Amino acid sequence: MRDGAIDEDIETEYIRPSVLYFPGMSSPISTAPLLLALDTASPTVSVALARGAELLGERSMAMERSSVQLLGLIREVLAAAGARPADLGGVVALRGPGSFTGVRIGLATVLGLHQALDVPATALDTLRVLAAAAPHPGQAVIAVVDALRGDWSAQAFTAGALPRPLSPERLVPGPEIPSLAAGYEAESLVTGFGVSRLAELPGWPLTLRLAEAGPLAAAAVLLAADPELEWDPSLLTSPLYARPPAVTLPRARQSPRRTLEPPCP
């Protein structure tokens, strides 16, 4: 081999940030971290495992009694991939809006894994994950979560695997959801759990399509693979609820004013 030249008989090694590849290999060896995502805030509880953009496994079940079986779902999805908790490179939970109890179960579970395994952890907004999970080739997706009493937590996003917000999150009555699609009416979609009943509202636009949501953990774990994602464990203690608690905190009692009597001479 001449100085400064590469011998053509020597195979070249190619290295990318998340993949190792050598010519002649059937497939690259991924070095991306193993990521686990949990969604316990939705009517369908789910767990998903991925390495980079490759989904390795997913488990889901109805919310009923899911808190009892959540750790079992985690064990199942890890075992199916031949992995152990110690192999995890990051854990993610959805932080709502959603079920009050469900949101807290997921956040507490991921916080426990973060502390026990000393791995990066963060929480994702449920509305953004809903948008990412929506199969929509149009321009906008309106993600909604039922907040009861006829209201919905709603936010508009660009369509795609990495949705960007087009509006802030709002608590709106069902008939006002189409207003979030202003400018995108013909190319928008509304997604969430239970959205099919929105079509029964008087005056609902026929052009605004509705898509029932399914398990969200798979979309969440792929969002977590985004290299620009900020891993912030403090979000695990900042849940998002559909509406403020329906309670009034008691006011602090005020002691009656006292006047000091002058001392007796």
How many other CB atoms are there within 10 angstroms of residue 55's CB atom? Answer: 16
116-150 pLDDT per residue, tens: 999 999 999 999 999 999 987 778 999 999 999 99
**pLDDT at residue 10 in the model:** 33
> Is residue 36 pLDDT above 60, yes or no?
yes
User: What average pLDDT does range 16-28 have in this prediction?
Assistant: 37
Beta-sheet pairing, 54-62 with 140-146: unpaired
| Whole-number average pLDDT of the chain | 83
Question: Which of 3.50.50.60, 3.40.50.620, 3.30.420.40, 3.40.630.10 would CATH assign to domain 135-212?
Answer: 3.30.420.40
**pLDDT at residue 5 in the model:** 44
Task: Say which residue the tokens 């050598």 belong to.
Answer: 22
- Give Cα separations from 171 to 106, 154, 180, 242, 245 (angstroms): 23, 6, 11, 7, 14
Whether the model pTM is above 0.85: no
**213 or 69, which is more confident?**
213
For a pLDDT cut of 70, what percent of the chain falls above it?
77
> Is residue 226 pLDDT above 90, yes or no?
yes
- The two domains 11-125+215-243 and 135-212 share their CATH topology (first three levels equal): yes
> Which tokens is 170 given?
């709002």
**pLDDT at residue 181 in the model:** 85
User: Where does the chain have alpha helices with state H?
Assistant: 66-80, 100-117, 126-133, 217-224
**pLDDT at residue 222 in the model:** 95
Q: CA 148 from chain center: how many Å?
A: 21
Closest CA to 126 of 101, 143, 151: 143
> Is residue 28 pLDDT above 50, yes or no?
no
**pLDDT at residue 252 in the model:** 56
- Give Cα separations from 180 to 54, 100, 131, 138, 233 (angstroms): 33, 25, 14, 15, 31
**pLDDT at residue 206 in the model:** 86
198-208 pLDDT per residue, tens: 999 999 998 88
Name residue 14's beta-bridge partners. Answer: 21
Give the list of residues 6+ apart from residue 237 with CB closer than 8 angstroms, or none.
Answer: 107, 111
For the CA atoms of 220, 91, 104, 100, the dihedral, rounded to the nearest 10 degrees, stands at 0
With 0-12 CB in 10 A as exposed, 13-18 as middle and 19+ as buried, what is 126?
buried
> Which tokens is 83 given?
């992995």
Query: pLDDT grade, residue 11 (50/70/90)?
Result: very low
> Is residue 23 pLDDT above 50, yes or no?
no
**What does the H/E/C string look like for 126-148?**
HHHHHHHHCCCCCCEEEEEEECC
Q: Which of 19-28, 170-179, 202-211, 220-229 comes out lowest in average pLDDT?
A: 19-28
Task: Say which residue the tokens 């979560």 belong to.
Answer: 145
For a pLDDT cut of 90, what percent of the chain falls above it?
64
231-256 pLDDT per residue, tens: 999 999 999 987 765 555 556 555 45
Assigned fold of 11-125+215-243: Nucleotidyltransferase; domain 5 (3.30.420)
Give the integer Cα–Cα distance in Å for 45 and 227: 26
58-79 pLDDT per residue, tens: 999 887 655 668 999 999 999 9
So where are the chain's domains?
A: 11-125+215-243, 135-212
DSSP conformation letters of 60-88 = EEESTTHHHHHHHHHHHHHHHTT--GGGE
> Is residue 185 pLDDT above 70, yes or no?
no
Q: CA 154 from chain center: how many Å?
A: 15
